[in-house]
Amino acid sequence: MYVSGRAPDRKRERQLSSGSVATPPYTGGDVSRSGELGRMFDVSSSSPASSSRRSSGPLPPPPQLRPPPSPALSQLSHSGLLVGPSPPHAPSWRKASRMRKAAGAGEEAAAAPVVARGRTRLGVPLACYVLVAVAALAGLGVGVFFLVSWRRWEGLAGAGGAVAVAAAVLSWNVARCAAEAERFFRRSPDTVFDQADMPIGELVKITGQVTCGRIPVGACFHDAARCVFTSVRMYGRRGWAWACCCSRWQLRHSEARSTSFYISDRNSGRRFYVRAGEGTKITWMIKRKTVRFDGETKGSSRSLKSWAESHGVSCDGAVRVEEGFIREGDTTSVIGVLKKHHAYDVVDAPDGVVATGCQPARFMFPVLVEGLVFIGSEDPDEAVYIV
């Protein structure tokens, strides 16, 4: 519908529209020839030479941008051989990684908390000791009375024999207390876990491979960077006067470090989290490796000297260091109380003590053990390292 004016020429309009669609003007990349499109996007002309470019013809190839050649690539010829002077040697990344690893092991050992050792003692009440002592004195008194009154020595001999047997049994128990406790716990069976009936709040024994937690512990004198537990004892040689009547080696320093870790039960495959960090009492039963060191010789161990200085211990003269550890991947047994924390199975130290029970066949009284119990492998590497 036309409101006013002359009707447009439809034939001329069709020609213009068809021509504009079929053959649009070629700008050649020149903004000045783009018309309304260039002005709409507010694009200015990059160079005056672009305005004199022809509106038709092939596009020139774009310039190739080449990055500056690196020193290493500039020495490669077309044949692949190195040409020109060799670049300066950078420090070995293996050496740097070893240095970082050693520094990291020292930081991890320093970050791991020092734990207290649980006591291992006989489970005999004090009243029993008092009763046995009174009975022994009474028997000896009666024997002496018979000997003085009726010249009969049988009573004194019998009383003396009974006292000797009681003293021998007590000495045997005191000497074999720790060894018999380890023997008992090693022979005790592992706990069988049932998904439907977990022994929550009860004492369990779990045997399997251990895995480090968030903070591993590093051994100080052996090649074991990722451990869950380490124990170090440093002994110094006594003088000849002390060696004749006492032990030749005197304990100078003792410490143990532990961190929380995971253990996988070898029977059920379940994974448990063992909380063995700071403030936990631990009784460990592991074999130790020995390092012997003579501080007066030239071949001094730098690791031992730095460790002794950091702990304020003198390493002069002959020194013997015993170190035990539980590495990641070792098969270990843990005895503790099973608890449930949300969806996780956690093993904590028992509130009281763990008793072995009386063993009459071995003339052993009950042995009481405090804290978590760690039992290492029975056949570790027994090599002795001479530093």
> pLDDT tens digits for 94-107?
444 444 444 444 44
Residue whose pair of structure tokens reads 């291992």 in the numeric block: 120
pLDDT at 70 over 50: no
State the maximum Cα–Cα separation within the chain, in Å, rounded to a whole number.
165
pLDDT higher at 245 or 82: 245
pLDDT at 191 over 90: yes
Average pLDDT over residues 213-226: 83
For residue 74, CA distances in Å to 65, 69, 81, 82 come to 17, 6, 11, 9
Distance CA 321, CA 298 (A): 18
What is the CA 85 to chain-centroid distance, rounded? 47
pLDDT at 364: 92
300-350 confidence digits (pLDDT tens): 467 777 877 887 777 777 788 888 899 998 999 999 999 998 888 999 999
Amino acid code (one letter) for 134: V
Residue whose pair of structure tokens reads 């070792």 in the numeric block: 330
| Bridge partners (DSSP) listed for residue 386 | 292
pLDDT at 249: 80
140-188 confidence digits (pLDDT tens): 998 888 888 888 888 889 889 999 999 999 999 999 999 999 999 999 9
Task: Supply the DSSP symbol for 214.
Answer: S
Short-list 217, 215, 216, 230, CA closest to 321: 230
